[in-house]
Structure 1
Amino acid sequence: MAEHKHGSMDIRVQEKTFEGFMKFTVRSVIAIIVVLILLAIVGA
């Protein structure tokens, strides 16, 4: 087995993926909240 050295792995791709996931999640939650507020105002 190869020796693993803690902190030596390149994680730029994982960080970029996580950043994109977080942006998508935050935008989705904001959109859902806006839709719920509009539904409450309209009374549907």
Structure 2
Amino acid sequence: MDVSRCARHNVFMRESNRRIIERYFEEVWNQGKLDVLDELLTPTT
């Protein structure tokens, strides 16, 4: 994997993880939507 491709992948993963964390705090923590945990914690393929 070349360096630029690796860097793009790292940026994508950081953004993806940030969105998961934001959803956790907003939907699970603030709104009490525990059913969202299944979606957030299930590995993707």
**TM-score, length-scaled by structure 2:** 0.65
Q: CA RMSD in A?
A: 1.3
Q: After TM superposition, give the deviation of residue 36 of structure 1 in Å.
A: 0.2
Which of the pair has the greater relative contact order for Cα pairs under 8 Å at 6+ separation?
2
| Count of equivalent residues | 32
Unpaired stretches in structure 1, ≥5 consecutive residues: 1-12
Residue 29 of structure 1: which of 17, 28, 36 is its match? Answer: 17
**TM-score, length-scaled by structure 1:** 0.67
- Higher helix fraction (1 or 2): 2
Runs of 4+ in 1 over 2 A off after TM superposition: none
Q: Provide the identity percentage.
A: 16
Bigger Cα Rg: 1
